[in-house]
Amino acid sequence: MRIYLPPELISLGAGIALPPDKCRHIAAVMRLEKGDEFIAIDGMGRSYRAVISSVQKKNVHIDILQELPVDTGFPVELVLCQSVLKGEKMDFVMQKATEVGAGEIIPLIAERCQVRRTGKTERWRKIAEESVEQCGGALIPVVHEPVAFNDFIKAAVLAGDSGKLIFMEDWGRPVDEALDLMGGPARRIYILIGPEGGFSPAEFGAAEQAGFIRATLGRRILRAETAAVASLVITRFVLERRIGSG
């Protein structure tokens, strides 16, 4: 079992009092007892073997016993640039994007977004944290504050050393061909996904001017939240195959 702890809280060889939310999780949800061990992760790739030294409903103390080998993650950072979706769809995207290895998630306010303002960034960060605990990872993706599409595009123009893919339903290249058009290996790849109504023609044009290459997920029309997960999985699969054979 893995439990996320803020990096500033972790100290080798020292007794640590856990924050209230972690106390509730350990005592009431997981029902761990004194002497039980677990893996503490700091969200940045480091993990530690920890043991519970005392446990009550509102007070849990642990000892950090040993630092474990560092999880350096995937050599290519995948940055999901997801237009904000309504309802619980963004929660789903945050959870599943974390599970399949997104390094960063940038929520975008696009022209056709049905949600224009949201105060859910901390909620999304918590979902990413819990998802890492459940999937056995050690790296929590950076979840940014929502940004206007045009502001994001201006910043993307400056990211000349990064690969850029925009996924669309009606036309685009297979992912492997789109990656070939980047002109060389990239250590970072932006994956751009539209809202429920898709990007407007003006937004498509702006993205292509910024260097985004059109890619496709096949002939079927996917929901936006499905497209987000599928694009990450397929891109990572193609990259893993290339890295493994390189």
Architecture of domain 77-245: 3-Layer(aba) Sandwich (3.40)
- pLDDT over 60 (residue 4): yes
End-to-end alpha carbon distance in the chain: 34
Categorize the per-residue pLDDT at 232 as very low, low, confident or very high, splitting at 50, 70 and 90: very high
- pLDDT over 90 (residue 218): no
Map residue 106 onto helix, strand or coil.
Answer: strand
Categorize the per-residue pLDDT at 24 as very low, low, confident or very high, splitting at 50, 70 and 90: confident
For residues 217 and 44, what is the distance between their CA atoms, to the nearest angstrom?
Answer: 31
Tokens 């990413």 label which residue? Answer: 128
For residues 106 and 7, what is the distance between their CA atoms, to the nearest angstrom?
Answer: 23
Categorize the per-residue pLDDT at 180 as very low, low, confident or very high, splitting at 50, 70 and 90: very high
For residues 135 and 101, what is the distance between their CA atoms, to the nearest angstrom?
Answer: 10
The answer, as to whether pTM is greater than 0.75, is: yes
| pLDDT score at 71 | 66
Query: Could you state, in order of their start, the residue ranges of all structural domains in the chain?
Result: 2-67, 77-245
pLDDT digits (tens, 9 = 90+) for 93-125: 999 999 999 999 999 999 999 988 889 999 999
- Determine contact, residues 152/206, Cβ cutoff 8 Å: no
pLDDT digits (tens, 9 = 90+) for 188-200: 999 999 999 899 9
Name which CATH class applies to 2-67.
Answer: mainly beta
pLDDT digits (tens, 9 = 90+) for 47-94: 899 999 998 878 889 899 989 877 666 889 999 999 999 989 999 999
Topology match between the domains 2-67 and 77-245: no
- Determine contact, residues 115/85, Cβ cutoff 8 Å: yes
SS (H, E, C) 161-221: CCEEEEECCCCCECHHHHHHCCCCCCCEEEEEECCCCCCCHHHHHHHHHCCCEEECCCCCC
What average pLDDT does this structure show over 209-220? 91
158 or 205: whose pLDDT is higher? 205
232 or 246: whose pLDDT is higher? 232
- Determine contact, residues 85/217, Cβ cutoff 8 Å: no
Angle at 185 between CA 82 and CA 154, to 5 degrees: 40
- pLDDT over 80 (residue 170): no
**What whole-number percentage of the chain has pLDDT above 70?**
98
- pLDDT over 80 (residue 227): yes
| pLDDT score at 139 | 87
- pLDDT over 70 (residue 246): no
Residue type, 245: S
Task: Tell me the pairing of strands 15-17 and 47-55.
Answer: unpaired
For 31, list phi and psi in degrees, rounded to 5. 55, 45
